[in-house]
């Protein structure tokens, strides 16, 4: 007998299903664009070295980065998604680094350029950033696109504890996230927060409290959940090789998600349940499975254990 999951129903609000419903079953793909940004904890304005878990591959000095133009990236990304995945609609996703870390007039030029291509089929703009690189002017700029596009603003929360944020050289406090969330309180922007679970000094109880913190902001519509992975070229990669510390096994992370997801507000759409680094870069944890096998394992365990999103949420 098949399971609910076999029939496409998951025990949590899944982004794929959300997109399918929203765009009437059309195949929607995110096209990643690199706007050649950096981050304030890399360029010296708030620090150097970047976040301790982040791969320094992306730390290449700007002068040394030779990127195709935004137009070329969007055109190529759309063609690839169309040819390889029969994609029909597209969300332009400014993903690498901090995509609001520039004056608003320059951001406008970049976003305008990206959105000027295939206007019939581009339905959304998605911008990944840090809470300390959001201000009123940038919010207003992003909101100016919402009459034509779905616009989501993805902010790294990573941990709710300032001690952790300091230890990972984040250069940004949890209070700065709260401030940014307050700026978009009644905004038409769709807000997503990104979290990392598994910093070795955080206990399970500490991590479960992330759910309460996400739940208390009704403006948060999406979340991306990640387990900590240790990659080559990161500060934590060096620390781990010198002195290995505990990272989640797939079974442990799944156990954790089975407790976390029931605590999460039922209306929040989960864009991702885990992260997956390039195999060549990944130091730990090595789970020995591909993306769909991991997804399927977690989904089946959630269902088997009756871990339904929101079932333990208390308003």
> Which residues contribute to the site for ligand SF4 (CB under 6 A)?
39, 41-42, 50-51, 54, 97-98, 130, 156
In a 3-state reduction of DSSP, which class is residue 209?
helix
Beta carbons within 10 angstroms of residue 80's beta carbon = 13
Q: Which is nearer to ligand SF4, 50 or 262 (CB)?
A: 50
- The smaller minimum CB distance to ligand SF4, of residues 10 and 224, is found at 224
Residues 6 or more apart whose Cβ sits within 8 Å of residue 236: 52, 53, 168, 228, 230
Instruction: Assign 184 to helix, strand or coil.
Output: coil
Dihedral angle over CA of 13, 180, 91, 233, nearest 10: -90
Give me the least distance between CB of 62 and ligand SF4, in Å please: 13
Q: How far is the CB of 92 from ligand SF4 (least distance, A)?
A: 18
Nearest approach in angstroms of CB 133 to ligand SF4 is 9
Taking the complex as a whole, the smallest distance from the CB of residue 51 to ligand SF4 amounts, in Å, to: 3
Separation between Cα atoms, residue 254 and residue 269, nearest integer Å: 18
What are the CA-CA distances from residue 170 to residues 52, 161, 174 (Å)? Answer: 8, 11, 10
| Closest distance to ligand SF4 from the beta carbon of 3 (Å) | 36
Nearer to ligand SF4, 157 or 261 (CB): 157
Task: Return the number of the residue (130 or 221) whose C-beta is nearest ligand SF4.
Answer: 130
Q: Would you say 97 or 223 has its CB closer to ligand SF4? A: 97
36-49: burial string, b at 16+ Cβ within 10 Å, e else: ebbbbbbbeebbee
């Amino acid at each position: 007998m098949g399971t609910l999951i076999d029939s496409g129903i998951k025990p949590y609000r899944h982004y794929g299903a959300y997109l399918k419903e929203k765009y009437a079953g059309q195949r929607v793909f995110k096209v990643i664009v690199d706007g050649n940004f950096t981050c304030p904890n890399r360029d010296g304005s708030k620090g150097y070295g970047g976040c301790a878990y982040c791969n320094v591959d992306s730390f290449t000095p700007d002068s040394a980065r030779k990127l195709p133009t935004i137009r070329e990236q969007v055109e190529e990304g759309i063609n690839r998604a169309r040819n390889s995945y029969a994609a029909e609609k597209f969300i332009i996703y400014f993903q690498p680094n901090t995509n609001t870390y520039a004056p608003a007039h320059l951001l406008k030029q970049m976003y305008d350029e990206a959105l000027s291509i295939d206007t019939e089929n581009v339905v959304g703009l998605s911008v990944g950033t840090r809470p300390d690189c959001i201000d009123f002017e940038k919010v207003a700029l992003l909101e100016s696109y919402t009459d034509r596009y779905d616009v989501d603003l993805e902010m790294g929360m990573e941990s709710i504890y300032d001690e952790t944020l300091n230890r990972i050289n984040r250069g940004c406090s949890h209070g700065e996230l709260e401030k940014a969330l307050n700026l978009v309180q009644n905004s038409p922007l769709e807000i997503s927060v990104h979290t990392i679970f598994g910093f070795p000094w955080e206990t399970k109880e500490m991590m479960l409290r992330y759910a309460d913190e996400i739940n208390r902001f009704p403006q948060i519509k999406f979340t991306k959940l990640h387990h900590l992975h240790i990659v080559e070229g990161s500060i934590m990669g060096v620390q781990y090789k010198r002195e290995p510390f505990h990272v989640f096994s797939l079974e442990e992370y799944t156990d954790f998600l089975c407790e976390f997801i029931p605590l999460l507000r039922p209306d929040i759409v989960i864009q991702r349940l885990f992260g997956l680094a390039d195999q060549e870069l990944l130091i730990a944890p090595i789970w020995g499975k591909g993306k769909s096998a991991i997804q399927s394992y977690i989904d089946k365990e959630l269902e088997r254990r009756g871990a339904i999103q929101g079932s333990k949420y208390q308003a």
